[in-house]
Structure 1
């Protein structure tokens, strides 16, 4: 039923891939030789050929992110030019393009809306690949696509290497005395008969020191190390911007931002910039007030008025949070033991969506990866892999990666979807289980929202099933929507149980989490606006040097940032979302989609019951099961029977009442 994760033959991937692509070329030529092409005899097997390649390639690229080694890098680098050449060759094949247009022209009225959506997307993407251009331009696009893929991978590897190469050793207990016990246990080691503490730039370790480290000098040291990682990425950014600009000019666009919007729900550059600026201006005044609150705590601690630094933010924010809400992260962590969280989370998902998770023994890439089969309405529907704990050989951050899609092939066989969720939660040891922060719980809900969008698809066409074919600026809607439930008291009680005493977290403690939800929400908003506007403006014209890139960021910060970071802060060199991921000129998508997710969640609030199963099942049927088969604004309207409102987002964040 499900294909096992198996990379025993990893080192031979290049040869296997080459063979697979050659077979695919033969298959596509056979399809092109069909005299009377139809959707059934051409488009369906054409999609299947793409799925077979994805089936083989996804684990190879995935393993380089989660078990990075010299072998995974070499295999990735060997496979990249081969697949890049093939994808360019296919996407620029005029015969396929013409066949798709002919089928659309002849069969449009006979096909269902989902099949027509496949054709519409494919024809659009062929145009965006330069299919209609002359051979010289096609050749140049092929070179550009390969080079951009290589640069993205170099950016990512540089960041991983820089993260892993730095450490801070502390011997004086005075410098670590405020750090939570569970974090301190992970940092502690013995050397020459002395107890020492090691902190790294991996997120759990970095956050532990920047948030709780007693020594201001050490906080500055680790902050500076974190935001000056991979300086060589500055030159890579220059190259990426130059090549992307050249690529889109060949395709007839004025700039990369315009090209990016051609596949998104937002229609114009002005629409995106106005949307972000409106949110930023609405949040700025309150963000400044929130910053002043943090500074006040710092001044009471003896800091001089003019001496507050960016590296002080996390430490004094935590003190302020504790003072305002009596919220101590360390108090909560024993209640968010990973196993308990997962079991309660699955229970909640079963209650509202009627889906069941069953743990299965199946091969994976690490002994701590958990594998579950998911049943929907009592019927086996999908499989998910959870890789939740931080490791040195794993890329930072959290993400969902889709492997197989739900679809029906030309023989009438239904293929079930699979996906991976990857996080970097605190590690479990032989003596201590993985104890999560509430923010980790929120992350888990977020990534599961993505996963369910892919795994609960009932669409039978692979290219618009699950997250395939979903406009990038709405793909965050289901993930952000599920996040909101992680702040509900009754839901938290399903899993917030002390891992030793089994005592359920009491109401007062849960209320503190809920009240603190919008703590510094305006600071968080303007920070996201800073990222999104920097990203979008960066791609509205060509910026040629590191200095020009910095100037774009500085100008955005002047207008929207509550605090200006030190000049050595090179945030952009670690902005992997846009330079090593798919968010270039699209980081605004987080906020764009959040309008949909906040409005959808408000429907549950207004119903008076967050466990509203009727509403949840409607959401599952109208949003999750439909994947990319319709535009998300249409699906949202089907669900809510109205357009989404920006005010829902501002209300849910406590920015307006």
Structure 2
């Protein structure tokens, strides 16, 4: 029923991928000769061959991530440019585009899933510049080359500026810094090195007692890469040109073409409404920090004092230390308890299977729903030296039906870097590790429970950028529910359940000063959307940021703070006119989450409805429409405020 995963024969896998690319090209040429051309005789087999290629590439990229070595790096690096060339040529293929338009015009037999595949494909071909005249196409190509260069330069300037700065401090200057951070900072000559790299920077800003040094670090951090001001102007100008060549009013409109939100105005209204609710509470939080700082002898609080006094206030308000939770969160018990929770929540049963794995500690499960085996999940959760850090869900195969009517079942990997068990102690997790596990399992369930028959919109495929985090954020919220923690939070030696007071402290710590965090995210998101709605000059970019800060920030930074010059998310990453996505997906997840909590968490009828309207539908329809099918109405901002502990 499921293919086995083999981690050997990388050279053979590379050869298979290269042959597959060539055979795909030939096969597409034969498909283009079909007459009359239809979804069934063109797009069905087209999806299958591209999915087969994707599955083969996933095997190599997965091995490169979990069993990384010189061979995997070399082979993966060799494949990347060839794959890039293959997909670029495909995206510019006028014949395929003409075939898609032909199907759209003449094939009347399409169901909703097939219409979505066709709509997405035509849109993506148009966004790659197909259908434009040769000179416009050439201009678009040049703009994209320039943008690639400028955004890379932007990122490199931030990195260079970050690397160029260091403070060497003596023992007296590192008072208050936790031991683990001091160990990281300690130099051979006995001094302590603090830099603008985030773990180092935030450690001093949070715990460093020397105010003068905090200011020095803050000033250096917020004035990095001043040369990026001119690059921002160029980037925004080129993005505006790119949008107009493709027929969009602004770059913000172009960015939203592949997202749930319809217009920049809709996003700005959402952000303003959220700010209106969160800012008064953020102001109260700020006043609380100021009062606390005054009590400690600081009459005038500045931006470089904020994190420091917030941390002191948090410690005084309630003692929260992740370490005390670890004995109650033994990895094996957590996994089994999580499966028990998911069975109670969604009616999904995990059945362990013995199969070929790339590492002895990897576990494999079949997902069974209502007596039917639906998909397969691999869990690779322990840290290893040859494994990349962090956590992710990687989909290997989607659920789909090929042109002959044969159904393929989905497979996914969930990978994390949890502590390894030792000879004397099992793997003990932190609460943040459990949040990570739930988050990635949310992504996995979105992929694995799909019943969509078209590969390109099945599971996480084809899901809009601003909604892809919805199921993962939804699931991670349950970590803070007492009913859920009680299923698996038991002391690994005594088997005593976690005390309720620990759970209460954990929830309070999660929402400590959260309104200030929310308004900060809104500030970034609104600035991002506004600068992409026009093509401002460097000076105008600053004016827009000043205006947004005036409206939203509770502590307005000094005028020399040029935060925008290091905002790599939007000027060198994938978040241009999309930074709002974090809060947008959280809005959906908060409403869905509370719909369960308000029914007492476990309600199989409600769960079945959620599974069928959201998880099983993947990317087969607009995510907001799927949400409405589940929820019966638009999401309410009140749930998002409640989730952040700031509901009025």
Q: Which interval holds the TM-score relative to the shorter structure?
A: 0.7 to 0.9
TM-aligned CA distance change 1:275 to 1:161, over 3 Å: same
In structure 2, the gaps of 5 or more residues are none
- Cα deviation, residue 485, structure 1: 1.0
Preserved contact between residue 404 and residue 419 of structure 1 (Cα < 8 Å): yes
Preserved contact between residue 373 and residue 380 of structure 1 (Cα < 8 Å): no
Preserved contact between residue 374 and residue 449 of structure 2 (Cα < 8 Å): no
Preserved contact between residue 322 and residue 328 of structure 1 (Cα < 8 Å): no
**How does 1:436-585 map onto structure 2 within 5 Å?**
436-499=429-492, 502-543=495-536, 545=538, 549-565=541-557, 571-572=563-564, 575-579=567-571, 581-585=573-577
Q: Distance in 1 between matches of 2:494 and 2:213?
A: 36
Is 1:404 aligned to residue 397 of structure 2? yes
TM-aligned CA distance change 1:24 to 1:226, over 3 Å: farther
- Cα deviation, residue 424, structure 1: 7.0
- Cα deviation, residue 531, structure 1: 2.0
Preserved contact between residue 391 and residue 424 of structure 1 (Cα < 8 Å): no
Q: Secondary structure at the match of 2:259?
A: coil
**Which piece of structure 1 moves more, 514-523 or 338-347?**
338-347
2:102 maps to 102
Of residues 275, 284, 290, the one that matches 2:270 is: 275
TM-aligned CA distance change 1:435 to 1:552, over 3 Å: farther
Preserved contact between residue 357 and residue 375 of structure 1 (Cα < 8 Å): yes
2:626 maps to 635
Q: Distance in 1 between matches of 2:351 and 2:249?
A: 48
Q: Distance in 1 between matches of 2:174 and 2:94?
A: 65
2:339 maps to 346
- Cα deviation, residue 540, structure 1: 1.1
TM-aligned CA distance change 1:188 to 1:131, over 3 Å: closer
**How does 1:211-222 map onto structure 2 within 5 Å?**
211-213=206-208
- Superposed CA deviations along residues 600-651 of structure 1, whole A, max 9, x for unmatched, are 22222322x1122322222112210110112223322322233322233234
Q: Secondary structure at the match of 2:601?
A: coil
Return the TM-score normalized by structure 1.
0.82
**How does 1:16-165 map onto structure 2 within 5 Å?**
19-58=19-58, 82-108=82-108, 110-145=109-144, 148=147
Q: Secondary structure at the match of 2:300?
A: helix
Q: Secondary structure at the match of 1:491?
A: helix
Q: Distance in 2 between matches of 1:474 and 1:465?
A: 14
Is 1:596 aligned to residue 597 of structure 2? no
TM-aligned CA distance change 1:429 to 1:242, over 3 Å: farther
- Cα deviation, residue 187, structure 1: 4.4
Q: Secondary structure at the match of 2:130?
A: coil
Preserved contact between residue 390 and residue 424 of structure 1 (Cα < 8 Å): yes
- Cα deviation, residue 470, structure 1: 1.9
TM-aligned CA distance change 1:636 to 1:289, over 3 Å: same
1:295 maps to 290
1:383 maps to 377
TM-aligned CA distance change 1:103 to 1:349, over 3 Å: same
Is 1:4 aligned to residue 14 of structure 2? no
Q: Distance in 2 between matches of 1:49 and 1:135?
A: 29
- Cα deviation, residue 462, structure 1: 0.7
Preserved contact between residue 92 and residue 138 of structure 1 (Cα < 8 Å): no
2:646 maps to 655
Number of residues of Structure 1 aligned to a counterpart in Structure 2: 644
2:602 maps to 611
Q: Distance in 1 between matches of 2:587 and 2:561?
A: 31
In structure 1, the gaps of 5 or more residues are none
TM-aligned CA distance change 1:147 to 1:341, over 3 Å: farther
Q: Secondary structure at the match of 2:397?
A: coil
Preserved contact between residue 204 and residue 425 of structure 1 (Cα < 8 Å): no
Q: Distance in 2 between matches of 1:621 and 1:176?
A: 55
Q: Secondary structure at the match of 2:37?
A: coil
- Superposed CA deviations along residues 115-172 of structure 1, whole A, max 9, x for unmatched, are 2221222223223332221122223434544665676677778878988998888774
Q: Distance in 1 between matches of 2:366 and 2:155?
A: 32
Q: Distance in 1 between matches of 2:293 and 2:363?
A: 46
- Superposed CA deviations along residues 417-439 of structure 1, whole A, max 9, x for unmatched, are 34455667778888887765534
Q: Distance in 1 between matches of 2:144 and 2:62?
A: 20
- Cα deviation, residue 392, structure 1: 11
TM-aligned CA distance change 1:50 to 1:565, over 3 Å: farther
Q: Secondary structure at the match of 1:494?
A: helix
Q: Distance in 2 between matches of 1:369 and 1:7?
A: 17
Of residues 228, 235, 241, the one that matches 1:246 is: 241
Is 1:355 aligned to residue 356 of structure 2? no
Preserved contact between residue 181 and residue 200 of structure 2 (Cα < 8 Å): no
Preserved contact between residue 382 and residue 456 of structure 1 (Cα < 8 Å): no
